[in-house]
Structure 1
């Protein structure tokens, strides 16, 4: 059974905080020992706590002195090369969370516009319900991406059909082109709000009209 994810926040309860400290400290010491033994590296740890009158040093005070002396012997550039304080660590976490948020927003927007596109093809949704230019830009992007996928599929089937013809088999290209044309005809017939289907397709095909959409650069 998987363990419950611990919320990284200050533990207000004194007894729970002390128990967590002892448990985590023991785990930290174990990991330090494993890292040092398995990878043959020099490592040390100094832990101050309100529960002990003296700081605890691992592996020993002499061992800590040896590692610190070696560290101080490095140039200032080498010392700070991979150093990270609390502020930079939190900044890194925030930047990573922001990137994940942007990625999720883009995925959600793509799904939303894909749903709008298919609803429009089925006649359940009209473009007059899209309230701003950003929606039209994003919808145009999704239509263009789908048409590109269809064209790639058609080309692939056409090559397979050409190969089959050389072997004496019926061609697959007409069927593929028929399916592609049906999809394009549906788009041309269903996408429009006061202007012709061809004009709307030309609108979506123009990079200047949709390439600067907010979520689909």
Structure 2
């Protein structure tokens, strides 16, 4: 009865409660006998469709609750499987293939599906990052867009000569073990020394 009173205040609606006891001839009534009769008469005067709209018996309530709990169990199971697959993929990326041994076709299909989903997600993120990248600054002299000339972004001389050596096919191991100290040799000079 206290809960019915709280419900009527919170929802701004009329509530009544009839409690039948085996030992008593008349039921206990909330809020009062006259108000309960008025509420029940209003309910009976409603069309039949309106009366049944929100009515639920105990069996219906329990079935609805079971369905809701089953949805929660299924959601938790999916999240758990997703976590296990992510863990398996993480171990596999680091060279531990033991988790793939003994998986059946259904489990391997789930792993493959998860890989596809992750690859699509990564592709979308990369596309978003590329679309948000700032445009190159326009060249002041001509007003055209400069796509990163050496004049705007000069490399340090030492790094440039090392890059030239790598591009021309010079073996860096030979340079390191041969005593290359970072002198500004051209790639042709290095190839002649070898």
Query: Do they fold alike, i.e. is TM over 0.5?
Result: yes
1:83 aligns with 2:55: yes
User: Would the alpha carbon gap of residues 169 and 157 (structure 1) be closer, same or farther in structure 2, given more than 3 Å must change?
Assistant: farther
The alignment's C-alpha RMSD in Å is: 2.5
- 2:90 pairs with 115, 118, 134, which one? 118
Alignment of 1:117-136 (within 5 A): 117-126=89-98, 128-136=100-108
The structural deviation recorded for 1:70 is 1.2
- 1:100 pairs with 72, 76, 100, which one? 72
TM-score by length of 2: 0.63
Larger gyration radius, structure 1 or structure 2: 2
Q: How many residues align?
A: 141
Structure-1 residue corresponding to 2:28: 56
Structure-2 residue corresponding to 1:66: 38
Aligned residues of 1:46 and 1:57 also touching (Cα < 8 A)? yes
Structure-2 residue corresponding to 1:41: 13
Mapped partners of 1:131, 1:158: distance in 2: 38
1:144-163 Cα distance to aligned partner (Å, 9 max, x none): 111112212221232233x2
* Secondary structure, counterpart of 2:29 in structure 1: strand
Higher relative contact order (CA 8 A, sep 6+): 1
1:40-70 Cα distance to aligned partner (Å, 9 max, x none): 4322111124676642101111111111111
1:59-102 Cα distance to aligned partner (Å, 9 max, x none): 11111111111111122222111100011101101111111111
Mapped partners of 1:30, 1:127: distance in 2: 57
| Structure 1 unaligned regions, length at least 5 | 1-28, 171-217
- 1:165 pairs with 128, 131, 136, which one? 136
| Structure 2 unaligned regions, length at least 5 | 139-145, 149-194
